[in-house]
Amino acid sequence: MDIKSAEEAKRRLSQVGIESAMADMAVKKMPQVFVFDELSSSNQWVVENLQLLSAHEMLCITDSQTCGRGRAGRDWCSPAASNIYMSFTITTDRVPEIASISLVIGLALVKSLSKMGIDGLALKWPNDVLLDSKKLAGVLIEAKNYNGRLVLVVGIGINVDMSAGINLQSELGWADLSAVGLSAADRNDIVARVYSEYEQLISQFLDKGFASLREEWERHDAFMGKSVKVIENNKVLCEGEESGIDDRGCLLIKTDAGVKAVHSGDVSLRIKHEN
């Protein structure tokens, strides 16, 4: 194997690498791990293969996506051997506070990456993780009914190495983990750490509700106390001072008419001076 091939092999995602890292982190409920070189999207693959669900949840990771999606069908830049595109299932007999699931996942991302020594992380309601005020990761959640149970398909995209001049557009600009010392070769470990942290938080969430995590989420709130506007269908829904979230995960905006609680839906949160 030549030097170039050896480097590509090191950067490659692997089922064995992910499962080994999860075992080291003592993940209590190991999922079924599926790793692919390329998919249209990891979320779509999980949705189309729910028949594989067993006593164990599913975790799908792909090296690249041809039709990666963010919220509201927006494209998610998905080049090969560079970033993390992962999706997993949450199967439950009862309907949890679905609107706040993305907040739980975002918190799991911040906590897991912080434990890897990454500073400057913050959360942007409802589904973005920021690094030094720029977009690092996003969360997409789809709810499906399968065999009489609710299955949530959680998709996560994390920018790890965007050094190849990738054209990625974001209203906040983008950040990646290579700027703080990680690389594509660390992706197996990052996936395992994120899932391990998620497993701990989701157990608390399903047992005690989002109220038990609200204050911790707010400690990482990037826009707390700032003048913001909430955009829905290209129109300003409301504007005022961002005042954190409530026990259901709704965003609280202090307006001239009082405090307004905003549900996630298809809305965008922006600093007031932005277009």
Could you give the residue numbers annotated as active site? 71, 135, 270
Radius of gyration (Cα) for the chain, nearest Å? Answer: 18
- 148 phi/psi in degrees, rounded to 5: 75, 10
Name, in order, each residue with C-beta under 8 angstroms of 59's C-beta and a sequence gap of 6 or more.
18, 31, 32, 33, 34, 86, 87, 88, 191, 195
Residue 143, SS3 per DSSP: strand
DSSP letters for 79-141:
-TTTSEEEEEEEEESS---GGGHHHHHHHHHHHHHHTTT--SEEEETTTEEEETTEEEEEEEE
Rounded CA-CA distance 199/111 in Å is 12
Indicate the Cα dihedral angle 249, 175, 73, 190, nearest 10°: -70
Instruction: For residue 21, give the H/E element and its range.
Output: helix 15-24
Question: Please, which residues have CB within 8 angstroms of residue 217's CB and are 6 or more apart in sequence?
Answer: 103, 106, 107, 123, 245
Kindly state the tokens that stand for 91.
């199967």
